[in-house]
């Protein structure tokens, strides 16, 4: 699984962090998404799919 984030689309909701905190964080200064790992391990795959689903700005794309 490969994760791609679009910083320009991100609205800093932080829903992804709540869904998968080992994969996503937010910048301190403006809350924009920070990808902690581009290739998360298989055991986090469901959390990452959930994070992409709850993102209100469609800023997370998953390439399986």
Partner 1 sequence: MSIEDDTGAVAHVLVVGAAAAGLTTVEALRRKGYPGRITVLGAEPHAPYDRPPLSKQILSGAWAPDRAALRTEETLSGLDTEFVLGDPALALDPATRTVRTGSGRELGADAIVIATGVRPRMLPEQRELTGVHVLRTLDDALALRTDLLAGSRLVVVGEGVLGSEIAATARTLGLDVTLAGPLTGPLALQVGPLVSGLLAELHSERGVRLRLGNGVVGLTGDQGRVSGVELSTGEVLPADVVVVAIGATPATEWLAGSGLELDNGVVCDSRCRAAPGIYAVGDVARWQHEGLGRLIRLENRTNATEQAMAVAGAILGEDRPYEPVPYFWTDQFDAKLQVHGFLPADAEVDVVDGELTSRRFVARYRSGGRVTGILGWNMPKQARQRRQEIVDAVPSPAPAH
Is residue 58 close enough to count as binding partner 1 by CB under 8 A?
yes
Is residue 4 close enough to count as binding partner 1 by CB under 8 A?
no
DSSP-derived 3-state class of residue 3:
strand
Q: Which of 18, 37, 38, 41 binds partner 1 (CB under 8 A)?
A: 18
Instruction: Say if CB 24 and CB 34 are below 8 A apart.
Output: yes
Count of other CB atoms within 10 angstroms of residue 60: 26
Q: Which of 31, 35, 36, 45 binds partner 1 (CB under 8 A)?
A: 31
Is residue 35 close enough to count as binding partner 1 by CB under 8 A?
no
Helix runs in the chain, H state only: 15-19, 45-54
């Amino acid at each position: 699984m490969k994760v791609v984030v679009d910083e320009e689309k991100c609205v800093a909701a932080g829903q992804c962090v709540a869904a998968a905190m080992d994969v996503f964080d937010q910048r301190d200064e403006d809350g924009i998404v920070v990808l902690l790992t581009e290739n998360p391990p298989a055991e986090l795959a469901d959390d990452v799919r959930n994070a992409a689903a709850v993102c209100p700005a469609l800023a997370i794309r998953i390439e399986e």
